[in-house]
């Protein structure tokens, strides 16, 4: 790149015009070279801040890196936060923090380059659409390191990083960590029945039975998106989220205002799968619709019904992805139970800059062993998936 470049730090995305942010690859629809990722859109990230969910008082102080040329044109960005804890990240480093602090170090605050509360891979070293990516990525990765040094803090972490960005992080001296999720991969199916035909007979029969059982108590399913997402609907979904989230996490991360804001700003990118019984909704799951993927986030319910969670979160997501021609469904963090429902193990990546030499050596050794374990487990699970391996003569 010709001409001097500079990185400025902003504590809020409100400092960046939405139309400028939309020119970053992956941050908006319409760029064939970079499928839209709704979680790095200005609408989603700003809703997290404007609702008070990802702000300093919640332990998420914005430290967004903005790469500009001499004319002030935004060439790249790295959404990042100065954090006083490790909650809401889904890549767990609490063990590192405990060990460092027992040895007399201070792990927090740390820098976190991620989308808060969102375990979905997406652009981190964001570059302006149509501009060469390597130099921009390198500058942002180095910029995050420099910001770590200026703050005098222990570390910087970029989580759920696309594999294509890892080279820039590793070249800048970051450690490479891997983990595993389960994704449904759409092999061009015309309907759910086509997907079922790829499964072993026993697995196929089990899924058909499971889907029938989920709806046995007079339950029907609605897909709500766009103008369907009224404040009344958000009230109902938020009740599900609070009920289930409080039991699962103790304190849900998102508040009611967040849902109103995303309903205002990106309703066409949202799919609520809602289960109705006796004329009222009793459960639901929220999904976000990207350029080539459906991203399942969280679910909740106020009534318990057998298999309803699997139907609402996994089977319906597959139905929607096939209907929309989306390439995959990313169903969130962890969950080997997804394997039997057609979701295959996929490796996820993160990058970690550790400033303290002793802690860095210990973490590097740990990650070397962890990567081997993740790879071995992925191979094992892939070999034990539900898909047919050869001709079968039995029928349903």
**Could you give the strand order of the β-sheet that contains 5-10, starting from the edge strand earlier in sequence?**
5-10, 64-69, 74-78, 126-127
**Alpha carbon of residue 61 to chain centroid:** 20
- At 336-370, the pLDDT tens digits run 999 999 999 999 999 999 999 999 999 999 999 99
- Specify the long-range contacts of residues 35-39, CB closer than 8 Å, at least 24 apart: 35/290, 35/291, 35/292, 35/293, 36/290, 36/291, 37/120, 37/122, 37/123, 37/290, 37/291, 38/266, 38/269, 38/288, 38/289, 38/290, 38/295, 39/115, 39/118, 39/120, 39/122, 39/288, 39/295
Same domain, 38 and 11: yes
Give residue-wise pLDDT tens across range 113-166: 999 999 999 999 999 999 889 999 999 999 999 999 999 999 999 999 999 999
Domain count of the fold of the chain: 2
pLDDT at 289: 98
268 shares a domain with 130: no
What is the model's pTM? 0.95
Chain centroid offset of residue 310 CA: 19
Answer whether 388's CB lies under 8 Å from 199's CB.
Answer: yes
Strands 81-83 and 280-289: unpaired
Q: Is there a single domain that holds both residue 214 and residue 88?
A: no
**Contact between 38 and 288 (Cβ < 8 Å):** yes
User: Does any domain span residue 37?
Assistant: yes
**Tally of residues, the chain:** 396
Q: Do 118 and 40 belong to one domain?
A: yes
pLDDT of residue 248: 62
User: Does 396 reside within a domain?
Assistant: no
What pLDDT score does 2 carry? 55
Answer whether residue 389 is part of any domain: no
Query: Can you give the residue range of the structural domain that contains 73?
Result: 5-179+346-379
Q: What is the pLDDT of residue 3?
A: 66
Tell whether 336 is covered by a domain. no
- Containing H/E element for 61? strand 60-62
Radius of gyration of the chain (CA): 22
Domain containing 30 — which CATH number? 3.40.630.30
223 and 286 housed in the same domain = yes
- Close Cβ partners of 212 (under 8 Å, ≥ 6 residues apart): none
Same domain, 303 and 173: no
**21 and 163 inside one domain:** yes
What are the mean pLDDT values of the chain's consecutive 10-residue runs (396 residues total)? 83 97 96 93 98 98 97 97 96 96 97 98 96 94 98 98 98 98 97 96 97 97 98 97 74 94 98 98 98 96 96 98 98 90 96 97 97 96 86 54
Question: Tokens for 106?
Answer: 């201070």
Pair (105, 149) in one structural domain: yes
Residues 183, 332: Cα–Cα separation, whole Å: 8
Whether 139 and 222 share a structural domain: no
Is 276 strand, coil or helix?
strand
254 and 357 share one domain: no
Q: What percent of the chain has pLDDT over 90?
A: 90
Based on the fold, state whether residues 278 and 303 are members of the same structural domain.
Answer: yes
What confidence score (pLDDT) does residue 388 get?
Answer: 85
Over the stretch 268-288, which tens digit does the pLDDT of each residue have? Answer: 999 999 999 999 999 999 999
CA pair distance 199, 297, nearest whole angstrom: 26
296 and 371 together in one domain: no
Report if residue 55 sits inside a domain.
Answer: yes
101 in any annotated domain = yes
């Amino acid at each position: 790149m010709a001409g001097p470049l500079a990185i400025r730090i902003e504590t809020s995305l409100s400092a960046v015009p939405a139309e400028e942010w939309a020119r970053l690859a992956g941050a908006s629809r319409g760029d064939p070279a970079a499928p839209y990722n709704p979680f790095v859109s200005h609408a989603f990230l700003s809703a997290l801040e404007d609702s008070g969910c990802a702000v300093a008082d919640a332990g998420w102080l914005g430290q967004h890196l903005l790469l500009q040329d001499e004319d002030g044109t935004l060439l790249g960005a790295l959404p990042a936060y100065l954090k006083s804890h490790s909650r809401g990240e889904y890549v767990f480093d609490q063990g590192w923090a405990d060990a460092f602090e027992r040895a007399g170090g201070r792990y927090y605050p740390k820098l976190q380059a991620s989308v808060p509360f969102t375990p979905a891979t997406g652009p981190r070293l964001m570059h302006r659409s149509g501009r060469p990516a390597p130099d921009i990525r390198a500058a942002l990765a180095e910029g995050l390191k420099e910001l770590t040094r200026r703050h005098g803090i222990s570390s910087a972490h970029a989580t759920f990083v696309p594999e294509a960005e890892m080279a820039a992080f590793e070249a800048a001296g970051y450690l490479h960590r891997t983990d595993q999720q389960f994704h449904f991969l759409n092999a061009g199916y015309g309907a759910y029945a086509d997907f079922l035909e790829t499964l072993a007979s026993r697995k196929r029969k089990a899924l058909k039975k499971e889907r029938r059982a989920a709806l046995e108590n007079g339950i029907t399913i609605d897909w709500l998106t766009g103008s369907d997402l009224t404040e009344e609907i958000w009230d109902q979904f938020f009740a599900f989220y609070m009920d289930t989230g409080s039991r699962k996490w103790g304190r849900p991360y998102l508040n009611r205002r967040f849902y109103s804001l995303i309903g205002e700003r990106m309703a066409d990118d949202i799919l609520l799968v809602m289960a109705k019984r006796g004329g009222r909704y009793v459960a639901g799951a929220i999904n976000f619709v990207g350029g080539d993927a459906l991203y399942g986030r969280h679910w909740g319910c106020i009534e318990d019904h057998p298999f309803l969670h699997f139907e609402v979160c996994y089977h319906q997501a597959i139905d929607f992805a096939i209907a929309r021609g989306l390439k995959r469904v990313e169903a969130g963090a962890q969950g080997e139970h997804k394997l039997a429902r057609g979701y295959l193990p996929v490796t996820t990546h993160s990058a970690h800059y550790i400033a303290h030499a002793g802690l860095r050596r210990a973490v590097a050794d740990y990650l070397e062993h962890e990567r081997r374990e993740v790879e071995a487990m992925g191979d094992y699970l892939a070999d034990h998936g539900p898909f047919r391996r050869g001709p079968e003569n039995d029928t349903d």
